[in-house]
Amino acid sequence: MASDKTLSFVIPVYNEEAAVGPFLDGMADVLGQIEARGYRVELLFVDDGSRDGTLAALTELVARDRRVRVLEFSRNFGKEAALTAGLDAARGDALIPIDVDLQDPPQVILQLIDAWEQGYEVVLGHRTDRASDSLLKRASARWFYRVVNAVADTPVPENVGDFRLIDRCVADALKRLPERRRFMKGLFAWVGFRTAVVDYQRAPRIAGTTKFSGWKLWNLALEGITSFSTAPLRLWTYLGAAVALLAFFYALYIVFRVLWLGVDLPGYASLLVAVLFMGGVQLIGIGVLGEYLGRVYTEVKQRPTYIVRREHGGQ
């Protein structure tokens, strides 16, 4: 029996009024089994500035379930900030981030706990089947992992989301990381620790719709690449050298052609193409520099990752 240990579930929510009630109903059986093993349970919801009735639904849960705590953000800070706040505030000996839509099946939690009890400090939930996701989302996720793991210093496990179990020592290590722009999948991988993997099939959402648009997913991918690799900066160094080398050889070609065949008529089309090409390369390079400079600017200001307006329950 583990009567002296607590399991904390970290549940970020944003405009999930329709999913809060079904989530707790869907978790009821598994929570009962966990408590039957002798564990205490903490359900820590992080309301990321919801604009619908999510907060009201959560405060109702607080009133009727002593296991529920709610952190209310002052505004929408994003899921990475919500996860960070949950990890900072959770009191458990082990923490399990999970989405309120229950696409990560609750029964898998028991397997995560089994692996933790065997001595693993991180237990990853690995998605073997993403049929519930759209074709575009599956394809973009596949390419994202390929690109990130090709350039990143620390590989990010493929088809592993935020759903996992982490020991208290891992949560404490994550809390010591000071950066403000946080790509949590990368940070989870960076801290290391003894890791096990549990395979599962992802289910459809129980209610509501995804809050990640294509634009947000694209920005998250940029965040992942630039947060854990300087390869894009290095790439433009090599590209600049290659373009300069090609220009040098082309200049030699022009010189020898003039000496051998004489001066020919200039071509404005080729000149225009060359100017536009070089201008495009320079602008893209400036954009890459801007991405990194923007992150430095954010870190230097040292603003907090999130602001909690109020905490409900758990007193």
Token readout for 4 is 């002296």
Is 46 a residue whose pLDDT tops 90?
A: yes
pTM: 0.72
Q: What's the rounded mean pLDDT across residues 133-152? A: 68
Distance CA 116, CA 93 (A): 11
Q: What's the rounded mean pLDDT across residues 200-221? A: 62
Q: 173-187, 229-243, 297-311 — which is least confidently predicted?
A: 229-243
For 263-277, what is each residue's pLDDT tens digit? 655 665 566 567 767
Residue 138 CA to its chain's centroid (Å)? 16
Could you give the angle at the alpha carbon of 145 between the alpha carbons of 7 and 277, nearest 5°?
Answer: 145
Q: Do 29 and 22 touch, CB atoms closer than 8 A? A: no
Q: What is the pLDDT of residue 42?
A: 92
Predicted confidence band of residue 313 (pLDDT cuts 50, 70, 90): confident
pLDDT, greater one: 130 or 260: 260
Q: What is the pLDDT of residue 115?
A: 92
Q: How many C-alpha atoms does 272 have within 13 Å on its Cβ side? A: 3
The beta strands (E) that lie in the chain are given as 6-13, 40-47, 68-73, 94-97, 122-129, 160-167, 195-201, 308-312
Give the range with max mean pLDDT: 6-15, 99-108, 180-189, 249-258: 6-15
3-state secondary structure of 179: coil
Q: Which of 211, 167, 209, 217 is nearest to 188 (CA)?
A: 167
pLDDT, greater one: 213 or 184: 184
Is 288 a residue whose pLDDT tops 60?
A: yes
Tabulate helix, strand, coil % of the chain (nearest 5): 50, 15, 30
Q: Is the dihedral of CA 27, 57, 205, 225 positive or negative?
A: negative
Is 121 a residue whose pLDDT tops 90?
A: yes
Token readout for 265 is 């008529």
Q: Which of 78, 74, 70 is nearest to 184 (CA)?
A: 78
For 47-63, what is each residue's pLDDT tens digit? 988 888 889 889 888 88
Predicted confidence band of residue 64 (pLDDT cuts 50, 70, 90): confident
Q: Do 203 and 132 touch, CB atoms closer than 8 A? A: yes
DSSP conformation class of 11: E
Q: 6-10, 144-148, 180-184 — which is least confidently predicted?
A: 144-148
Q: What is the pLDDT of residue 44?
A: 94
Residue 118 CA to its chain's centroid (Å)? 27
Is 82 a residue whose pLDDT tops 70?
A: yes
Q: How many C-alpha atoms does 315 have within 13 Å on its Cβ side? A: 6
What's the order of all strands across the beta sheet hosting 160-167?
Answer: 195-201, 122-129, 160-167, 94-97, 6-13, 40-47, 68-73, 308-312
DSSP 52-80: SSHHHHHHHHHHH-TTEEEEEESS---HH
Q: 104-108, 237-241, 307-311 — which is least confidently predicted?
A: 237-241
> 187-200 as b/e, with b when 16 or more CB fall inside 10 Å?
bbbbbeeebbebeb
The domain made up of 6-229+303-312 is a member of CATH 1.10.10.10: no
Is 1 a residue whose pLDDT tops 70?
A: no
Q: What's the rounded mean pLDDT across residues 42-50? A: 91
